[in-house]
Structure 1
Amino acid sequence: MTPTQGPPPRIQDLGLLSNRRSAALVTSLAEVVWYCPGRFDAPSLLARLLDDERGGSWAVDLPGAAPAGRRYLGDGGHLESMLQTGENGEALTITDFMPFGEGLPCGLCRVFSLAPQAYRLVLKAAPDYARRAVTLSHDGAGMQIDGQHWLYASHPPEVVGDSVVIQVPVGEAAWAFLSDERLEQLDWETVTRWREASLLNWQTLTVHATYHGPYEEAVRASLRALRLLTDHVGHATIAAPTTSLPEVLGGEKNWDYRYVWLRDAGMVVSALTRAGGDGSEGRAFLEFICAWAKPQGDLPAPPFLTVDGGRPPEETELELAGYGGSRPVRIGNGARGQLQLDAYGNVLLAAKLIYERFGTREHWGIIERLAEFLCEHWQDDDYGIWEERRKQPYVAGKVLTAVALEYIAEHSEEPQQAARWRAAAGAARKWVGAHALNSEGAYAYVAGEEGVDLTAALYPVWGFCAPDSPEMLATMAALERDHCQDHLYWRFLADNDPCQEGAFLAGTLWVAQYWVMRDPARARAILDAVLAYAGDLGQLPEMADPRTHEALGNVPQTFVHAALVGVVVDLAEAERAQHPT
């Protein structure tokens, strides 16, 4: 019988698996359509998500199956999915997990309940982003795949064409493990031990940050996403586990987000520090940045890093068909050498949070270096928060420089240094007042131009200005008029038509965070509009199209989830202040 596969995967249907080293994505029909073994940015072994024909997947071939619900077991990375078959409502329950913890093997494990009818597991591997033909051979109790991976199972695997197929008879339970190393004979007892140990390790980790209040389930899902996408060795949080999921279907803005952005630091550290718990996770992320953010050319630190602190590879294109035909498919990222003033400002904001929480000045040498750079270079043109392709005087970088220097000056022990930083912050503020307003009196995206970007919604959140200042009222009016549909907001980009991408969910949440300051009910309406794209597992993509209700962009994106936590924490505080008990 020829191996079969399900319908093309959709972004809003994906569920994330992780062992905090690498990640996989699985559909509601329990098909693994993306898997990068070993580390988050490793070449994929399964990539049907980016090429329906050649990309490879691990499917459950259960005739007549339909999704019947799924859930995470607790706050960790074990995903339980149900497939229903037949008119009598019989279901197959699948528990997918990647063993997490010291002493556990690296790989992807699948455990199946008693089969309501016979089915097959079909693994079609496509090594190195489908750039190599797969080799398959029996190796002891397992099947060797591409000379680097092994498939072990409760039922004997067989080669069918270019796939590995496992037949499971009716009435029998099953397990299968796709391993990154050769193992001895596996059995139910071993797999069960891995499962229990991994669940316990997740439970131990998730006590570090808790939250109780409005939107509690959404915050839990967001904290889960942040943890699943944080490397367990260096504690670095990547932007997303995927590459090249399009910002608009059929478009060319398809980027590799499997790296660690300094720009994300302020928001991610804030989410992990302010959501209850002991704050250790946010502190660990700042430690990673300060350990690896070394000078690069004329920059005090690169704008983003790999999970082991290295420099991401140069941007290259792959011969994959792309999600929904959206090409090119890219690996690496061409923004790796850009000057982004906001990146360093965000690290200073993260340090401020940690210093205030723990009463320390840890990593002061690195923080001092970044502050000195901003003090001396805040007037420089840069590539902006959205990694544009040409340098310009982007206003957000100047605003963030001003507030970051003001905040971090409070922690300097050298009066002359603190005074110099404050003087630079004051000069940046004066420059913004003189150059950053458009003809309507709103904050422009680029000084001297008319366009307004939703980044400006953060200016009062950062403490740069009052939420009801004339400039902010004009800015928000422009955003509502030019960049909003159904409570979702688009970015303004200097070099691109905004129609070339979907509504930007992190920025939409920044607008909600602004409205927390003035009208919490309006903030809730915006938050609810974003959560409509969270799917059944609460995982948010980078973008969405309110016209088609399609999720867009890389998923799940930690920037969006961190923004959601920030909105909800602020909302909870505002509503408590409105209605004290």
Structure 2
Amino acid sequence: MTQPTPETTRPDGAAAANQVPIRDLGVIGDRRTAAVIDRMGRILWYCPCRFDGPSLLAGLLDPAGGDWRIEIDGARPGSRRYLDGSGMLETRLEVAEGELVVLDWMTSGPQAPVGVLVREFGEAPTPLRVVIDPHPDYGRKPARVSADADAVTIEGMTLYGSHPLRVEEGRAVMELPAGERGWMALSDAPLTRPDPATLDNWRGHTLGHWRGLDEAVDYDGVFAEELRQSLRAIRLCTHEESGATVAAVTTSLPEIAGGGRNWDYRYVWLRDAGMIVSALLRLCQKDSEGEQYLKFICRCTGTSEKYPMAVFTDLDCETAPGETELPFEGWRGSRPVRIGNGAADQLQLDAYANVALAAKLLYREGRSDGRAHWDVVSDICDFLADNWQEPDHGIWEETPPKPYVSGKVVAACALESAADYADEAEAARWRAAAGEIRDWVARNGLTSEGAYAVYPGSEEVDVTAALFPVWDYSAADTPEMRATMAALEREWSPDGKLFRRRLECADGHEEGVFVTAGFWVAQYWVMRGELERARAIIEAGIAQANDLGLFAEEADPATGEMLGNIPQGFAHAALIGAVIDLNRALEAQAKEKSNG
């Protein structure tokens, strides 16, 4: 991996914040927002109150963006782990005199206060300082920091500490003597000063809240630990009050290091709904998280003037703000740094289709009374039936729009699946439209080799086609699918296990492998009955996670470097889907052998 140059290190020897490998990042959260922490125990990204709110700390994207750091001479990173399956992160820093254990967490659950970020420090092996250097509103305004008798106020937030706090040049500082334990707590709402017993109480309730979530998981098959890690990652991206799941908790971590493909992922994409709802419904048999997410999506009608709804929204079901560029240096010089996202009013057929597919799963699993959200599902299907011929921006949100085959295919699958729950007239109309789509794809959607093309006239394929059997568009072993998979392995896979995506506006070969894609391919091979091959592909995908089980969007298989925003909910949901499919196939295989 790239190592920081002398010019990108701090005086205490730590790498500049925006040089930290993405693989070194961990995430804590309270299911309303999140903080990003590196292996040196620095909080490098934090947006108080909500995922998509303005940052207080943004050192991840600029050396002067602000951080919350531990200054301890000679420290080097040790081990780290999430505590007892929760979203509470324990980090160990090693020094010559011993080890400092840091526990970072955010209060969660109905019996703990809302909006408190807690840092607990075990016995200090040597004297140290803890410094919070705030740069509010993405560094666009100076911080208001002041001290009173027992606290420091930062932008209206209250910071308490176990030891005296002071303000130095706009920074809040706490010194922890050798041999003593300590803590700091930053609250985004008024809060009475806590004492150690209060912190113990909050910690217990927070752990209990996470354990309660974990108890909803009904799974003990293959890759059980990795599956639970992925579920935790999705929950760390989930806004509990609304039920929405953001694509990731960060912005502008690049798809190509040093490049300009840097996007704000702190919003809720319709496209993700299908896979995430599917993962939650299939995994959490006794929980309602999947239903809550779908309910959120279906509240977003009216967010677009042209389409059934915007293809992504903010946490309030409102249209996400347009793009603004920040004067940040960027992660390893990757500019521009963007907040907001300008693709909200694109036509993306697959995004709408995935909402209908998610609803179908809800109906099929018997997890709702009648046809929940049928008015929204019906409107979407009417829209797809009327507009499937239109060129769209596709799953990769590219411009200009083109008649992407994958969008037509998933539209047909959505129409056919919804027709099973529709009245006679609706069903006939939707099935007729799906039949027209199938005829169009057969005439226009194949390459000269007989593989599914990206769009008519193209000789290239894209890994989204691996989902066609998963969506029930075709059997996995048709000549078209065999030709498609052969072309994917030849053109877009470095090893037959990891896959890149094909892009229209950029060269996909310049990116890392797209982590989600490998899990899609694994699902395909499960459907082909090649279970050991599917297992090997899943293992290769899991190897792209960091030590905490978190996926970024992409990875460089040669160097191990992670690329893109983190944690990528889409990838974690894809892993869950692939693992559940593999486990069910293995169980069926074992049952068949025992009966034979």
- TM bracket (short chain): over 0.9
Question: Could you tell me which amino acid in structure 1 is paired with residue 280 of structure 2?
Answer: L
Look up the match of 1:573.
584
Look up the match of 1:452.
461
Question: Could you tell me which amino acid in structure 2 is paired with residue 167 of structure 1?
Answer: E
Question: What are the equivalent positions in structure 2 for 1:134-153 lying under 5 Å apart?
Answer: 134-145=143-154, 147-153=155-161
Structure 2 length as normaliser, TM-score? 0.94
Asked if structure 1 preserves the Cα contact closer than 8 Å seen for 2:12 and 2:73, the reply is no
Question: What are the equivalent positions in structure 2 for 1:100-119 lying under 5 Å apart?
Answer: 100-102=108-110, 104-119=113-128
Look up the match of 1:164.
172
Question: Could you tell me which amino acid in structure 2 is paired with residue 189 of structure 1?
Answer: A
Call closer, same or farther: CA 1:5–1:347 in 2, change over 3 Å: farther
Shift of 1:124: 1.0
Question: Could you tell me which amino acid in structure 1 is paired with residue 70 of structure 2?
Answer: V
Partners of 1:382 and 1:139 lie apart in 2 by 57
Match of 1:98 among 106, 110, 114: 106
Residues 493-547 of structure 1, C-alpha deviation per residue, up to 9 Å, x if partnerless? 1121113422111112111111122212121222112211211110001001113
1:283 maps to 2:291: yes
Q: Higher mean Cα deviation, 541-550 or 554-563? A: 541-550
Look up the match of 1:234.
242
Question: Could you tell me which amino acid in structure 2 is paired with residue 568 of structure 1?
Answer: V
Question: Could you tell me which amino acid in structure 2 is paired with residue 169 of structure 1?
Answer: P
Asked if structure 1 preserves the Cα contact closer than 8 Å seen for 2:71 and 2:130, the reply is yes
Look up the match of 2:195.
187
SS in 2 for 1:488: coil
Residues 188-222 of structure 1, C-alpha deviation per residue, up to 9 Å, x if partnerless? 12222211111112222222333211111110000
Partners of 2:214 and 2:558 lie apart in 1 by 37
Q: Percent identity?
A: 49
Look up the match of 1:41.
52
Asked if structure 2 preserves the Cα contact closer than 8 Å seen for 1:12 and 1:533, the reply is no
Residues 72-96 of structure 1, C-alpha deviation per residue, up to 9 Å, x if partnerless? 1233211112222226xx3221111
Look up the match of 2:372.
362
Asked if structure 1 preserves the Cα contact closer than 8 Å seen for 2:104 and 2:120, the reply is yes
SS in 1 for 2:448: coil
Question: What are the equivalent positions in structure 2 for 1:31-110 lying under 5 Å apart?
Answer: 31-51=42-62, 53-86=63-96, 90-102=98-110, 104-110=113-119
RMSD: 1.5
Question: What are the equivalent positions in structure 2 for 1:260-275 lying under 5 Å apart?
Answer: 260-275=268-283
Structure 1 length as normaliser, TM-score? 0.96
Asked if structure 2 preserves the Cα contact closer than 8 Å seen for 1:61 and 1:122, the reply is yes
Shift of 1:442: 0.7
Asked if structure 1 preserves the Cα contact closer than 8 Å seen for 2:157 and 2:187, the reply is yes
Query: Which blocks of at least 5 consecutive residues in structure 1 are unaligned?
Result: none
Question: Could you tell me which amino acid in structure 2 is paired with residue 409 of structure 1?
Answer: A
Question: Could you tell me which amino acid in structure 2 is paired with residue 205 of structure 1?
Answer: L
Asked if structure 2 preserves the Cα contact closer than 8 Å seen for 1:208 and 1:280, the reply is no
1:245 maps to 2:256: no
Look up the match of 2:401.
391
Asked if structure 2 preserves the Cα contact closer than 8 Å seen for 1:58 and 1:124, the reply is yes
SS in 1 for 2:385: helix
Question: Could you tell me which amino acid in structure 1 is paired with residue 259 of structure 2?
Answer: G
Partners of 2:582 and 2:284 lie apart in 1 by 15
Call closer, same or farther: CA 1:5–1:187 in 2, change over 3 Å: farther
Q: Which runs of 4+ in 1 moved over 3 A?
A: 2-5
Partners of 1:299 and 1:6 lie apart in 2 by 49
Asked if structure 2 preserves the Cα contact closer than 8 Å seen for 1:3 and 1:122, the reply is no
SS in 1 for 2:68: strand
Question: Could you tell me which amino acid in structure 2 is paired with residue 401 of structure 1?
Answer: A
Look up the match of 2:309.
301
Asked if structure 2 preserves the Cα contact closer than 8 Å seen for 1:37 and 1:107, the reply is no
How many residues in Structure 1 have an aligned counterpart in Structure 2? 575
Match of 1:490 among 497, 500, 511: 500
Shift of 1:62: 1.9
Asked if structure 1 preserves the Cα contact closer than 8 Å seen for 2:554 and 2:562, the reply is yes
Look up the match of 1:541.
552
SS in 2 for 1:334: coil
Question: What are the equivalent positions in structure 2 for 1:322-401 lying under 5 Å apart?
Answer: 322-357=330-365, 358=367, 360-401=370-411
Match of 2:133 among 121, 124, 134: 124
Question: Could you tell me which amino acid in structure 1 is paired with residue 215 of structure 2?
Answer: V
Asked if structure 2 preserves the Cα contact closer than 8 Å seen for 1:19 and 1:228, the reply is yes
Partners of 2:236 and 2:157 lie apart in 1 by 22
Partners of 2:94 and 2:352 lie apart in 1 by 50
Q: Higher mean Cα deviation, 534-543 or 176-185? A: 176-185
Asked if structure 2 preserves the Cα contact closer than 8 Å seen for 1:512 and 1:527, the reply is yes
Match of 1:436 among 435, 442, 445: 445
Partners of 1:41 and 1:535 lie apart in 2 by 24
Question: What are the equivalent positions in structure 2 for 1:200-219 lying under 5 Å apart?
Answer: 200-219=208-227
Q: Higher mean Cα deviation, 100-109 or 504-513? A: 100-109
Partners of 1:295 and 1:320 lie apart in 2 by 30
Shift of 1:182: 3.3
Residues 121-160 of structure 1, C-alpha deviation per residue, up to 9 Å, x if partnerless? 1111111111122232113411112x32221100111223
Query: Which blocks of at least 5 consecutive residues in structure 2 are unaligned?
Result: 1-9
